[in-house]
Structure 1
Amino acid sequence: MEMEVEHQQPDCVGGAEAVLNIQPTSSVSLAYHPLFGPHDDLILLELDEKLLPDVLQDRVTLRGQPDEDAVLCTRSKTYAVKFVGTSNSVLLIPPSDQSVLRGNTEEHDKKLVAPVFKVAPGIMELVEVAPRIDKLKKLLSENPYPFDEEVVMEEPNGMENSNRGLYCWEDLIDKVQASDDELKSGLHSLSAVEIGGYWRIVDDNYMDGILNMLLHNAVLNDWSLNALNESEVVNVLQSDGFPREIAHHCLRVYGSIADEGVGRLDEKRVCLHFARRILRGGKMRMDNFMVEWTKKIPDGMQASFDMLEGEVLTEKLGIETWVYAFSVSSLPSAPTERFSMLFRERPKWEWKDLQPYIRDLSVPGLSSEGLLLKYTRRTQPTADAEPVFSAR
Structure 2
Amino acid sequence: MDETEVVFPWTTADAGTFKLLELPPDLLKLVEAYIEGNASLNLSVKGGAEEDAVLCTDEKTYTMRSVVLSNSVLVLTPAPEAGEGMGDKVVIQDELHDIIELVPSLPKLHKLKGILRGLEYDEGYEDEEMMDEDEEFDNTQTGTFSYADAMHLQASEGELRRGLRDMRILDIGGRLRPIAPSYLNTILELILNHLVSHSLHHDAVPVDELSAAMKDEHEVDRQVTTQVLLWFGTVKDGKWEMNAEEVIKQIGLGILRPHKDAPIAEQEFLEKWKSAVGDTFESYISLKLLEVCTSARTSHSGNYLSSMSRDTFPAVLALTYFPSSSLPTDPAARFTDLFLTRPKWKAEDIAPYLADVAVDSKERDKLLLKYARATKDAEGMWYTARNKI
Matches within 5 A, 1:271-282: 271-281=249-259, 282=262
The corresponding residue for 1:18 is none
Q: What code does the residue aligned with 1:37 have?
A: T
Where do 1:307-318 residues align within 5 Å?
Answer: 307-309=289-291, 310-318=302-310
1:289 aligns with 2:269: yes
After TM superposition, give the deviation of residue 63 of structure 1 in Å: 0.6
Which of 308, 318, 321 is equivalent to 1:322? 318
Which consecutive unaligned segments of at least 5 residues does structure 1 have?
Answer: 1-21
* Alignment pair present for 1:123 and 2:115: no
Paired residues for 1:1-392 under 5 Å: 31=8, 33=9, 36-39=11-14, 42-48=17-23, 49-50=28-29, 52-53=31-32, 59-92=42-75, 95-99=78-82, 118-141=94-117, 143-153=119-129, 163-174=141-152, 176-218=153-195, 221=198, 223=200, 228-239=205-216, 240-257=218-235, 259=237, 261-264=239-242, 266-267=244-245, 269-281=247-259, 282-302=262-282, 303-309=285-291, 310-318=302-310, 319-332=315-328, 335-359=331-355, 362-363=358-359, 366=362, 369-381=365-377, 384-392=378-386
Pairwise CA distance, 1:233: 1.6
SS at match of 2:154: coil
Offset of residue 235 of structure 1? 1.0
Task: Summarize the Cα distance change of 1:95–1:373 in structure 2 as closer, same or farther, 3 Å threshold.
Answer: same
1:153 to 1:209, Cα distance in 2 relative to 1, 3 A: farther
Query: Shift of the alpha carbon at 1:313?
Result: 0.7
Query: Offset of 1:40 from its aligned partner?
Result: 5.9
Contact 2:182 2:254 in 1 (8 A): no
How far did residue 327 of structure 1 move? Answer: 1.6
| Cα deviations by residue, 1:333-368 (Å, 9 ceiling, x for unpaired) | 665554443223212111342233335655268265
In structure 2, distance between residues paired with 1:246 and 1:52: 38
Larger radius of gyration: 1
Separation of aligned partners in 1, 2:326 and 2:78: 55
Secondary structure of the structure 2 residue equivalent to 1:150: coil
What RMSD in Å do the two structures reach over aligned CA positions?
3.8
Contact 2:63 2:105 in 1 (8 A): yes
Q: In structure 2, give the amino acid aligned to 1:387.
A: M
AA matched with 1:185: R
* Alpha-carbon spacing, 1:96–1:343, altered in 2? closer, same or farther (3 Å): same
Is contact 2:170–2:227 with CA below 8 Å preserved after alignment?
yes
CA–CA separation in structure 2 for the residues paired with 1:300 and 1:142: 36
Helix, strand or coil at the partner of 2:82: coil
TM-score by length of 2: 0.74
Residue type of the alignment partner of 1:316: M
Which runs of 5 or more structure 2 residues have no equivalent in the other structure?
Answer: 131-136, 292-301
Which residue identity is paired with 2:346?
Answer: E
CA shift digits 1:153-178 (9 cap, x unpaired): 38xxxx9899544333322221x111
TM-score normalised by the chain length of structure 1: 0.73
Is the 2:21–2:99 contact (alpha carbons within 8 Å) kept by the matching residues of 1?
Answer: yes
Cα distance between partner residues in 2 of 1:78 and 1:265: 28
Counterpart of 2:299? none
**1:15 maps to which residue?**
none
Task: Report the alpha carbon displacement of residue 322 of structure 1 after superposing the two structures with TM.
Answer: 2.5
- Secondary structure of residue in 2 paired with 1:231: helix
Worse-superposed segment, 294-303 or 239-248: 294-303
Greater shift, 293-302 or 47-56, is seen at 47-56
The alpha-carbon deviation at position 119 of structure 1 amounts to: 4.2
- In structure 2, relative to structure 1, the CA distance for the partners of 1:276 and 1:204 (3 Å cut) is closer
Q: Decide whether the 8 Å contact of 1:43 with 1:123 is kept in 2.
A: no
Larger CA deviation: 45-54 vs 188-197: 45-54
CA contact (8 A) 2:229 2:240 kept: no
